[in-house]
């Protein structure tokens, strides 16, 4: 039986009462943005090794199984491998290359292999950080935290409240979308349609049968969400101000986490600069 929800866990909130789950959402968003920006900047294996140590501490605080975190990565491993091969073969060195193998416009160099490995490591870190943020933060908390952090932009006329809501709904719609695809595939399998048999073209043709019912179901869910938001008077009305059920307060652990994250960022930038000298 097809069970996509077992392997695609991105966007699901895990309320296990861990220290990371109980953190202020503003602190979590700031830490995540700092680490994501840092990961995009790092370019040495030594710096990534130190970043891995910090992620291990982060994972212990989350209380979430590593196997559960890695489930969503399984369907994308093949794409990462394809991207790695293409980057190795078509990498153009800035200086005169020392080819390990070369033919026409493709070739293999040590620099191409190292850069490709760094790209894969960077993607894995980005995936882990974004996934951990979605696992440890509910949709309501994430929305509240982002709205508070982007409040200055709201004052100059940018509708950040609406943009934040759209972003959070899009992220949290991923598990709903996966569940709906799984339900449709099981319904078709019950009618005798086999998605795991035949060549690649036959499988794609069978999957295309899910598109129309998936769109219909998606529009129905959007309509229900629209009615629910209107019933709660959500919208931009003159003079209206939305209140919060729970006030956000920075605790001692939140300040400690922010301070530690900034120190780690400074340390990793320093290590990266020293190695590249």
- Residue-wise pLDDT for 153-208, tens only, equals 888 888 787 788 888 888 777 778 878 888 888 888 887 777 777 777 777 777 77
Q: How far apart are CA 29 and CA 49, in angstroms?
A: 23
Residue 1: pLDDT band by 50, 70, 90 thresholds? Answer: very low
Strand partners, 102: 107
Mean pLDDT of the chain: 83
* Percent of the chain's residues with pLDDT above 90: 24
Residue 112: pLDDT band by 50, 70, 90 thresholds? Answer: confident
Residue 99: pLDDT band by 50, 70, 90 thresholds? Answer: confident
Other CB atoms closer than 10 Å to residue 139's CB: what's the count? 16
Please indicate whether residue 127 or residue 98 has the higher confidence score (pLDDT). Answer: 127
* pLDDT tens string 129-158: 988 998 898 888 888 888 888 888 888 888
Nearest by Cα to 20 from 132, 146, 129? 132
* pLDDT tens string 197-231: 777 777 777 777 788 888 888 888 888 888 888 88
* Percent of the chain's residues with pLDDT above 70: 91
Rama region for 235: left / alpha / beta (φ>0; ψ in -120 to 50; rest): left
Q: What would the mean pLDDT of 15-32 be, rounded to a whole number?
A: 90
Say if residue 52's pLDDT is above 60.
yes
Please indicate whether residue 49 or residue 161 has the higher confidence score (pLDDT). Answer: 49
17: helix, coil or strand? coil
Domain residues for 152? 4-276
- The domain total for the chain is 1
* DSSP output for 3-45: -GGGT--TT-------TTTTS-HHHHHHHHHHHHHHHHH---H
Please indicate whether residue 130 or residue 91 has the higher confidence score (pLDDT). Answer: 130
Say if residue 3's pLDDT is above 50.
yes
* DSSP output for 69-96: HHGGGGGGHHHHHHHHHHHHHH---SS-
Min mean pLDDT across 16-25, 29-38, 39-48, 205-214 is at: 205-214
Q: How far apart are CA 209 and CA 188, in angstroms?
A: 9
């Amino acid at each position: 039986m097809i069970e996509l929800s077992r392997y695609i866990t991105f966007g699901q909130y895990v309320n296990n009462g861990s220290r990371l789950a109980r953190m202020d959402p503003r602190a979590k968003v700031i830490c995540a943005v700092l680490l994501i920006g840092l990961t995009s900047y790092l370019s040495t294996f030594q710096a990534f090794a130190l970043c891995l140590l910090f992620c291990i501490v982060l994972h212990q605080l989350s209380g979430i199984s590593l196997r559960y975190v890695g489930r969503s990565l399984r369907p994308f491993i093949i794409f990462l491998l394809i991207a790695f091969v293409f980057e190795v073969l078509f990498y153009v060195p800035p200086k005169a290359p020392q080819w390990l193998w070369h033919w026409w416009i493709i070739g293999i160099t040590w620099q191409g292999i190292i850069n490709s490995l760094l790209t894969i490591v960077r993607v894995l870190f980005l995936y882990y950080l974004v996934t951990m943020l979605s696992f440890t933060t509910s949709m309501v908390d994430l929305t509240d935290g982002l709205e508070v952090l982007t409040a200055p932009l709201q004052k100059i006329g940018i509708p950040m409240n609406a943009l934040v809501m759209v972003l959070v709904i899009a992220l949290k719609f991923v598990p709903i979308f996966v569940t709906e695809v799984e339900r449709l595939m099981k319904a078709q399998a019950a009618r005798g349609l086999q998605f795991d048999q035949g060549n690649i073209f036959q499988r794609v043709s069978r999957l295309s049968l899910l598109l129309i019912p998936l769109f219909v179901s998606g529009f129905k869910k959007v309509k229900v969400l629209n009615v629910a938001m209107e019933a709660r008077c959500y919208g931009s009305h003159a003079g209206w101000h939305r209140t919060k059920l729970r006030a956000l307060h920075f605790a001692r652990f939140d300040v400690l986490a922010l301070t530690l994250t900034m120190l780690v960022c400074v340390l990793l930038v320093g290590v990266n600069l020293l190695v590249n000298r």
